[in-house]
Every structure is written in structure tokens, then in C-alpha cells.
Structure 1
Amino acid sequence: MTDAKPKQLLHLVFGGELDDVSGISFTDLSQVDVVGVFPDYESARVAWKAKAQATVDNAQVRYFIVHLHRLLEPDTVKA
């Protein structure tokens, strides 16, 4: 019997201050906060939510989740 690890569906969480909240252009790319890479959407969502809540007082700051697994393996079925 082997313990099969679940397939990693990598997600990146990052954010920072935007020039205009209606777009995705950062005020200063050197100040973009890379929160980390996570093995699944749920753990990425938890990290995203914590950062978003911590910066709620600054309306210009936004955090994003990028589905890295979709970029790395675009032809596979998305889970």
C-alpha cells in the first residue's frame, strides 16, 4: 500500500498598491508583496484573505490569486 500524494495545483498569491483600482497596474513594482506559492486553491485563498483583510484600510491595495497550474499545464483538465 502506498500513500499517494494529491496532485499539486500550484497557486501564487501577490498584491500591492494599484495606480487605479479599476485596473491591475501597480504603483511601484519593486513594492509588490509576493505572499507565496501554495499547493492548492484553498490554502491560497486563506493567505489571500488574510492579506486582503490586513490591508482593508488602504483602498488602493489589492491582492490576487494566480492559478499557476493552469499556466504550467494548460492542456490538462482543471480540478
Structure 2
Amino acid sequence: MAKLHLVFGGKVADPRVLDFTDISKLDIVGIYPDYEQAEEAWRAAAQRTVDDAEMRYVVVHLHRLLEPGDPANP
């Protein structure tokens, strides 16, 4: 199975936690086939909003959600 990764972000109430203030306004950057491409997209998105302390972008390991009990799925 491909190790899919989702990159998205949005405004947060507190920059120390991932409590998005309005999930209807999340910026969905994309889904990537490996962590390296996802990290590159994450860095680009985060860099675009570097001056906005309330914006957070994250990489979600979709493959872990699809097969949570699979020991071959680190």
C-alpha cells in the first residue's frame, strides 16, 4: 500500500495546539505518495504564512489511519 500523506492547515486559537478556529476554512494543500513530498509541500505552505502566528500546517500519515493495527505500517 502507498504511504499516503495529507498536508493541510488553518488558523488556530493557540499556536501551541492544533485547535483550528474554523474548519470550514482549512487550507487543504494536497495528498502525497511519500513523506518527503509531503514535507516539501508542508514547508512551502508554512513558509507562505510564516508571519502569521495563528496559521499552522500539519502532515497527517493517512496510511496509519487506513491500517492502524498493521505492524508493517510505521
TM over 0.5: yes
> Who wins on radius of gyration, i.e. which is larger?
1
Q: 2:37 aligns with which of 36, 39, 43?
A: 43
TM-score (norm 1): 0.85
What's the offset of the Cα at 1:76?
3.9
RMSD (Å) for aligned C-alpha atoms: 1.2
**Aligned-partner residue type, residue 35 of structure 1:** V
Q: What SS class does the counterpart of residue 20 from structure 1 fall into?
A: coil
Cα distance in 2, alignment partners of residues 13 and 69 from structure 1: 13
The gaps in structure 2 that reach 5 residues or longer are none
| Residue of structure 1 equivalent to 2:16 | 22
The gaps in structure 1 that reach 5 residues or longer are 1-6
Q: What SS class does the counterpart of residue 43 from structure 1 fall into?
A: helix
Q: How many equivalent pairs are there?
A: 73
Q: 1:59 aligns with which of 53, 61, 66?
A: 53
TM-score (norm 2): 0.91
**Aligned-partner residue type, residue 55 of structure 1:** T
Q: 1:11 aligns with which of 5, 28, 36?
A: 5
Matched-pair identity in %: 56
